[in-house]
Amino acid sequence: MDLNTKVCVITGVGAGIGAAIADVFSQYGAHVIGLEKDRVSLNRTAERIAARGGSLYAICTDVSSEASVRSAFQEITSRYQTIDVLVNNVGLEFYKDFVSVSVEDWEHQLGVNLRSVFLCCSHVVPLMMKAGHGAIINTASVQAFATTGQTAPYAAAKAGVLGLTRDMARDLGPHHIRVNAVCPGCISTPMMERSLSRNGDASSARQKMQSAIPLRRLGNPAEIANAVAFLASDLASYISGVALVVDGGLLAQLPVT
């Protein structure tokens, strides 16, 4: 895959899948711009990529804030003029029984997981339309299809990401802009580690999770990053409106009777 010279914006690059996407894109020769709210983790990712011979143009951004997103994309366009690829990866998950979910919980989860996708796309799409090409990849989740429970706002937001992806693929196809989603399953990230630890026995929870996955292991962030790189590349030139599930076979099975 060749992303050489393509200008690629990736959100949520501080850790986990976002950091892996930034790393892989850099390895494939892209000009990578990373948006991340946490400056410490943002700088850590940039330093790690630089140590491997790549580069990351880092912009501290709250992608759930319209003003922050506008400022970030003004900075990007003043430096690069155009954007070839947008990866809306940022994500935030939490666990609460539905009856305990507050309006504040709901608004925060949808702000980070869904509003951010709309905001970033609203700034990128006019540039892509002017250029006559572009690729947008949105990170959804297997929880958009089936949930573990206690994730109502997250699951709703990720299902919304899929709906937005399909509609944008329909509307933007005539402008030669492809829009796809990648749906990770159980991936070994800091967010997953927090999930495994929430009931105290992380080791037991990990073993139980792995036993439920046909491939009998958690995925690693680079495996999602490679799928995203494929969707961003010209190898996927006729793929649009797709929700690519990368879950080790998790959703392919029925319950054992």
Q: Which residue has the tokens 């899929």?
A: 162
The set of catalytic residues is: 154
Kindly report, residue by residue over 82-115, the tens digit of the pLDDT: 999 999 999 998 899 999 999 999 999 999 999 9
Instruction: Give the three-state DSSP class for 177.
Output: strand
Identify the band that residue 183 occupies on the pLDDT scale cut at 50, 70 and 90.
very high
Read off the DSSP letter of residue 107. Answer: H
pLDDT-based confidence at 34, cuts 50/70/90?
Answer: very high
Q: Is the pLDDT of residue 199 over 80?
A: no
How far apart (Å, rounded) are the C-alpha atoms in residues 194 and 205?
11
Q: Please report the pLDDT score of residue 257 as a whole number.
A: 58
Asked if 211 and 256 touch (Cβ cutoff 8 Å), the reply is: no
CATH 3.30.460.80 fits 7-186+221-246, yes or no: no
pLDDT band at 146 (very low <50, low <70, confident <90, very high): very high
Q: Is 53 exposed, middle or buried (0-12, 13-18, 19+ CB in 10 A)?
A: exposed
CB 1 within 8 A of CB 27: no
Q: What is the mean pLDDT of the chain?
A: 95
pLDDT at residue 49, as a whole number? 97
The answer, yes or no, to whether residue 255 has pLDDT greater than 80, is no
Range with the lowest mean pLDDT among 2-6, 157-161, 196-200?
A: 196-200
How far is CA 169 from its chain centroid? 17
pLDDT computed for residue 137 by the predictor:
99
Distance of CA 7 to the CA centre of its chain: 17
Q: pLDDT grade, residue 2 (50/70/90)? A: confident
Q: Determine the average pLDDT of the residues in 4-22.
A: 97
Residue 158: the pLDDT is: 98
pLDDT confidence bin for 215, thresholds 50/70/90: very high
The pTM assigned to this predicted structure is 0.96
Q: Give the pLDDT mean for 250-257.
A: 83
The single-letter code of the amino acid at 160 is: G
Angstrom distance (rounded) from CA 228 to CA 119: 20
CA 61, distance to chain mean position in Å, is: 15
Q: CA 186, CA 151: separation in Å to the nearest integer?
A: 15
- Compute the Cα dihedral for 182, 186, 188, 190 and give only its sign: positive
